[in-house]
């Protein structure tokens, strides 16, 4: 079977009047997940098995351990998703699966499982880009959301400002030149000895801190384009912590968290608003793990109100990795003719508009 996009090779006809049931699998990092959606927007089940407790003791995700855990969990997670939906494999129209970007070993577990399902059940296979999955989480929560709009995708591996021209049609306006925003949260948390994943802990501590206590840099804020850079602020935090240690002054972790978070949120929100205004759109969506950040949500809500823009973001559960978002993206790929063959491979550094 050949991999095909939009052609009729390996593609079964589907009845446009029938409901389309997507079973999706996600295993790109440290969550083994399976979800079943009806017509791309209605969640029938959404099962997530997280490995956070396992990786916590190493201070981050250990790729080899993640792959092994996916192998242990995937069967159970898929069965649970079916049970919760009340459906059987016969009811599934097609299988969607994340094939990149992500950890290659982790991706291969979900991909091999999805291929086996598609092959044995004789269902169509649709490969999904994980970053496209993140932005599609908004289609589930906001039933009226339709392209075009501007989206800010902020996660542990990615920071992208994207113009969504249509379903599956993207123009990248800006992205990070170095660390992803979530990565910066995780690294700062590690330097403060706060544990993994750092984002939610920094978010919580920041609530008791003063965001103006330390003036961390806001890289790229006044640059022409929409690119970001977060390695400078991470280094600034590390330098600050070192200098305080040398001077024997105790660090107020809450203030460091609040000031760091404020600087990151300032840049993300101002760039996103600028892109939306420059491009003449009325809607901005947020997605990815960092979209769960309370300061980002608050600042974006405030700025969007001032500018008369419509802001949408997914509920917490759909911000971090899950398979419901993969099912939604997979559904739109499916109805637009995307089909993949048994030769679909994992692509660890897959770009958003690359496949
Ligand atoms: O989307 P995600 O689950 O995985 C990737 O695709 O990377 O995002 C995980 C990232 C981690 O870096 C985590 O620290 C961050 O999202 N994160 C947060 C919050 N919740 C998760 N960052 C800031 N504030 C939060 N509340
Ligand atoms: Zn993700």
pLDDT tens column, 223-241 = 889 999 999 999 999 999 9
- pLDDT bracket for residue 116 (50, 70, 90): very high
> Of ligand 1's atoms, which has the minimum distance to the CA of residue 180?
12
Calculate how far, in angstroms, residue 268's C-alpha sits from the geometric centre of ligand 2. 18
Question: 287 CA distance to ligand 2 centroid (A)?
Answer: 9
301 pLDDT exceeds 50? Answer: yes
Q: 204 in helix, strand or coil?
A: helix
pLDDT at 308 over 90: yes
Distance between CA atoms of residues 86 and 66, nearest Å: 29
Q: How large is the average pLDDT for residues 198-203?
A: 97
Q: Please give the Cα distance from 338 to 331 (Å, whole number).
A: 9
Q: What is the mean pLDDT of residues 11-27?
A: 83
Query: What is the arithmetic mean of pLDDT over 172-190?
Result: 96
**Residues at Cβ < 5 Å from ligand 2 ion:** 155, 321
Contact indicator for 18, 39 with CB cutoff of 8 Å:
no
Q: How confident is the model at residue 13 (pLDDT cuts 50, 70, 90)?
A: low
Nearest atom, ligand 1, residue 157 CA: 7
**How far is Cα 130 from Cα 152, in angstroms, rounded to an integer?**
14
Report the pLDDT value the prediction gives residue 12, as an integer from 0 to 100: 57
For 67-110, the pLDDT digits (tens) are: 999 999 999 999 999 999 999 999 999 999 999 999 999 999 99
pLDDT computed for residue 22 by the predictor: 98
Comparing 39-48, 164-173, 215-224, 243-252, the range with the smallest average pLDDT is 215-224
Write the DSSP symbol of residue 336. Answer: T
Q: Is the model more confident about 87 or about 10?
A: 87
Q: What is the pLDDT of residue 5?
A: 36
Q: For residue 280, how far is its CA from the centre of ligand 1 (angstroms)?
A: 29
pLDDT tens per residue, range 281-291: 999 999 999 99
Across the range 313-317, mean pLDDT stands at: 97
Element (DSSP H or E) covering residue 81: helix 63-85
Residues 291, 153: Cα–Cα separation, whole Å: 8
User: Residue 2's pLDDT is what?
Assistant: 35
Kindly give the pairing relationship between strand 42-50 and strand 31-38: antiparallel
Show the tokens assigned to 353. 């508009």
pLDDT of residue 219: 86
**Residue 266 Cα to ligand 1 middle (Å):** 17
CB within 6 Å of ligand 1 — which residues?
29, 155-157, 182, 185-186, 197-200, 203, 288-290, 292-293, 320-321
């Amino acid at each position: 079977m050949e991999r095909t996009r939009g052609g009729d090779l390996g593609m079964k006809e589907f009845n446009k009047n029938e409901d389309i049931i997507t079973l999706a699998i996600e295993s790109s990092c440290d969550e083994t997940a399976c979800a079943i959606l009806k017509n791309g927007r209605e969640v029938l089940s959404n099962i997530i098995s997280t490995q956070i407790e396992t990786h916590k003791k190493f201070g981050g995700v250990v790729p080899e351990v993640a792959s092994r855990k996916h192998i242990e969990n995937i069967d159970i997670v898929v069965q649970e998703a079916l049970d919760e939906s009340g459906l059987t494999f016969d009811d599934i129209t097609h299988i969607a699966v994340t094939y990149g970007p992500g950890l290659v070993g982790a991706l291969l577990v979900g991909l091999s499982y999805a291929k086996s399902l598609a092959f044995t059940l004789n269902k169509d296979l649709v490969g999904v880009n994980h970053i496209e999955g993140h932005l599609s989480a908004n289609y589930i929560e906001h039933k009226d959301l339709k392209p075009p709009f501007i989206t800010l995708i902020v996660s542990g591996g990615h920071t992208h400002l994207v113009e969504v021209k249509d379903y599956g049609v993207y123009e990248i306006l800006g992205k990070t030149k170095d660390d992803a925003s979530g990565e910066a949260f995780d690294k700062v948390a590690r330097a403060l000895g706060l544990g993994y994943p750092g984002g939610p802990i920094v978010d919580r501590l920041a609530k008791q801190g003063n965001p103006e206590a330390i003036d961390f840099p806001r890289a790229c804020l006044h640059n022409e384009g929409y690119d970001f850079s977060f390695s400078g602020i991470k280094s600034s935090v590390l330098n600050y912590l070192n200098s305080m240690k040398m001077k024997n002054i105790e660090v107020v972790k809450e203030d460091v968290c609040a000031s760091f978070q404020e600087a990151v949120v300032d840049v993300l929100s101002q760039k996103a608003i600028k892109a939306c205004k420059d491009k003449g759109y009325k809607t901005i969506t947020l997605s990815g793990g960092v979209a769960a950040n309370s300061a980002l949500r608050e600042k974006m809500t405030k700025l969007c109100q001032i500018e008369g823009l419509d802001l949408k973001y997914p509920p917490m559960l759909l911000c971090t990795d899950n398979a419901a978002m993969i099912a939604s993206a997979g559904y739109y790929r499916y109805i637009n003719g995307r089909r993949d063959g048994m030769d679909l491979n994992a692509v660890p550094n897959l770009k958003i508009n690359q496949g």
